[in-house]
Every structure is written in C-alpha cells, then in structure tokens.
Structure 1
Amino acid sequence: MTHWLLVLMAALPVLGQEAPNPENMLPGCPDIVQRSEWMGLPSKCPKKSLNLPVEYVVISHTAGSPCFSPAECEQQMRNIQAYHMNTLGWCDIAYNFLIGEDGLIYEGRGWSIIGAHTGPTWNPISLGISFMGNFMERGPAPRAIRAAQSLINCGKLHGVLTPQYMIKGHRDIQRTLSPGAKLYSNLQSWPHYHE
C-alpha cells in the first residue's frame, strides 16, 4: 500500500508548478522538456488557442546566452521567462518551443497556445520556435538543428502543421537580425523554407 502511495505522489506536480501537459507529448515524437521539468512559472496568459493546423513555422534565436547541458538550458529557460514576464511585462515566455544546444526541446507555450514571438499578424497563424543563443557569428550545434527539424516533423505528423507548411526566419517577417546570420543561412536549406 505504501509503495503505491509513493508512486502516486511522485507523479503529482510540485506545488506551484503546472502539471505536465499531455497534449505536448505526442506519440512517436521527440521528448520535450516540460514546463514543470524546467520549473517554469505558471502562465498568466488567457488561453488563446491556435487555430490548428497552422501554415507557418517561424524560427528565431533568443540572442542571449547559449546553453550546452540540460542544467544550463533549464536555467536559461527560467531566465528567458523571467525577462519576458518581469522585464517586458508579457504574460508568459513568448515562444511555443525553444531549442537548446544540448539537443533538447523545451516547452514554452506548447503546440496549441498562441505565442508572442512575431507580432499580432503572425502569432495566431504560426508556431514559434526559438534557438537559445546568439547565432550571428556561429551556427547552432548540429544536434540542436536535428531537434528542431524533428519537432517540426512531429507537428506535421500530428496535424499541428498543414501538409504544405512553410518555414520562415524571423527576419523574413519583421525587421530584425534574428535568427542570426549563421542560423538563417542554415535555415534556407531546410525543406519547406520559404523567404
């Protein structure tokens, strides 16, 4: 009896953290580090759902510090969320997902919630994926590129993206240097990329 109680308690979220979101854990897809795992703060956003499937994926970079291990990337996720919420006054971290150079995918707003990554015209019709780091002078680690491409393929497989979805760099939509010159150059060779 005690054993089952311990198993049940281990499955419950830590007080003050959001429970894992099963809709962000799609079968046959790469593992995603859930908000509860990187100790994200609860969102203060109204739950505005994306009208799925969406036609666009917008790739950006955070232009901040890179991270190369799960511990570094989890801390960087908390830093980004704190900057977005406390400094910029936003209701949550802006992106749907973030990619670390540890090769892992980190849940931001997830598959179905409108992000705040590319402005009011593009946010409701796109999934925002941001690479953690600054990629003006160097490209992300190959495992980070593979993680992002795997996440996008997962979205297509599960109907989050239209079959003819288009990938765009942040700079294709807004006046910005994001996703950085080196990442942008790599992005232009991806399937489904359209300027």
Structure 2
Amino acid sequence: MILYLGIMLTSQVFDTTGSPALVSVPNDSDGNEVYTYNFPFTTRAQWKARLPKETLPLPSPVPYVVIHHSYTPAACYYSEECCQSMRSMQNFHMNDRGWWDIGYHFAVGSDGTAYEGRGWGILGAHALHFNNVSVGICLIGDWTNAVPPVRQLKTAQALIAAGVDRGYIKSDYKLVGHRQVRQTECPGDALFKEIQNWKHYSPFPASVDDLPEVIQLGK
C-alpha cells in the first residue's frame, strides 16, 4: 500500500493492483491535522464544491448516525459521475432548499468512494430536529428495490468507524435510517432492511413520534 504522510492536498490514491490505498486528507477544521483513511476519499475541493454560505459547529461526539439515500441523483459508478452528483445535490440544497451547503456530512458512491459533504464537526441539514445529535451519510442512488453494491456499503461502514476513531461519533453510537426520525421513505426499503443488520442499528427511535422522548432522555 502507498501511504502519504504530511500536510497535503490529495487525490484518490490506488496501489498498482487497483486496490484503494491509505489516503491522507487535510482536516480544515483542525488546522494542520491530517487524517488518514483506508478507503478512497474525495475532498470538497476535489469535487469542486461551492463555499458554504455559513457554518455552525456540531457538538461532538454525536450519539447517532443517520443513513440516507439520494433517490435522485441515481447511483454513480465512476469518480467523475459521482463528483457531478455531489455538485447536483449541493446546488439543489443551496438553490432550491435555501440551505447553507449540501445537507449531508458525507456521501458514498457506488464506486466505493466517500465524498466529503459538510465534513466532520459541522452542523448538518439532513434530518430536521435531529441535526444537532447526528452525522448524516448519504448513499448516492435510489435504494428502494435494490441493495447498494458491497463496496459502497463497506465504505459507508469504514467511514463511520473513522468518525468514531477521530472522536466525532460516540463509540456506542446508534445507527438509524432517515425514516426513523422524519416522515420519509428514505433511505429506501432495501437499504433500510440492510442497515438493520449492521452492528449499531437501533430500532429506537422508531418514528418521528419518538423524538420528544429522545430529547428528554438525552439519548
């Protein structure tokens, strides 16, 4: 594996076998600290993100991870295609929804790459009334009738593990689907069924009706 150390702007790095290598990316919120990921990772600069209108800090570590699907744009299988999907989602969220930035903290493509959205430590706009206790990860595509490719699922899980390692997500975090905290069909029936097999999946809250109890209990 190839490992780049030091402060640098990076692109996706692959070894000569085509497997993802360790990727080092600068963490803007922490000054000079550099994070190393063992999965393909694309920064905001690399997918040509617009600057956010504003940002607010997200209290860390958060107790929840919320899984989404994009529905549209559809699944993307190549870097250029996925970067375009990120720009499309950001434009929709900022221009049509009037949000400060793309709503998700991260998105994951069917190419097995994690794409930086708002990033760690920034308040998201992905789950109304639940944003200040969660990190939102979107699996790009419509996962109503089909489960995402294995590499997409594995990168999403590795991304969560990285968040735990870096102190942004609690080690005993609870994983939920978007539909459990908002009136929506997201993250699609097939993906929602899939994440119920993940280690940290929690059936509570079961619906938006449970949110007052979540807040009251501080869960």
TM, length-normalised to structure 2: 0.76
The amino acid across from 2:41 in the alignment is: I
Asked whether the equivalents of residues 100 and 144 of structure 1 are also in contact (C-alpha less than 8 Å), the reply is yes
Structure 2, gaps ≥5 residues long? 1-7, 10-25, 204-219
Q: Tell me the distance in 1 between the aligned counterparts of 2:120 and 2:112.
A: 19
Contact 1:29 1:154 in 2 (8 A): no
Partner of 1:154: 162
| Counterpart mapping for 1:137-152 below 5 A | 137-152=145-160
Are 2:202 and 1:194 aligned?
Answer: yes
Read off the aligned partner of 1:168 and give its amino acid letter: V
**Are the counterparts in 1 of residues 143 and 188 from structure 2 also a CA contact under 8 Å?**
yes
Corresponding residue number in structure 1 for 2:187: 179
Pick one of 13, 37, 42 that aligns with 1:33.
42
Kindly state the Cα deviation for residue 49 of structure 1 after the two structures are TM-superposed. Answer: 0.7
In the alignment, the residues of structure 2 paired with residue 83 and residue 118 of structure 1 have an alpha-carbon distance, to the nearest angstrom, of 16
Q: Deviations over 1:114-137 (max 9, x none)?
A: 100001x21011000011111001
When structure 1 is superposed on structure 2, of 25-34 and 61-70 the one drifting more is: 25-34
Gaps of 5+ in 1: 1-9, 12-19
2:124 corresponds to: 115
Q: 1:72 to 1:89 in 2, by over 3 A?
A: same
In the other structure, the counterpart of 1:136 is: 144
Name the CA distance, whole Å, in 1 between partners of 2:63 and 2:161. Answer: 13
Q: Deviations over 1:97-118 (max 9, x none)?
A: 0010000000000011010000
Deviations 1:38-61 (A, max 9, x none): 00101112x211111100000011
Aligned residues: 177
Quick one: higher RCO (CA 8 Å, sep 6+), 1 or 2?
1
In structure 2, the residue corresponding to 1:189 is in which secondary structure?
Answer: coil
RMSD between superposed Cα atoms in Å: 1.9
Q: Residue in 2 aligned with 1:4? A: none
* Aligned equivalents of 1:114, 1:174: Cα separation in 2: 17
- Identical columns (%): 38
After the TM superposition, list the runs of 4 or more consecutive aligned residues in structure 1 that deviate by more than 4 angstroms. 22-25
What residue is the counterpart of 2:58 in the other structure?
A: 50
Alpha-carbon distance in 1 for matches of 2:143, 2:102: 20
Shift of 1:157: 1.3
Q: Residues 50 and 124 of structure 1 are in contact (CA less than 8 Å); yes or no, is this contact kept in structure 2?
A: yes
Question: How far does the alpha carbon of each residue in 1:59-89 deviate from its partner, in whole angstroms, 9 at most, with x for none?
Answer: 0111111111101000110111111111221
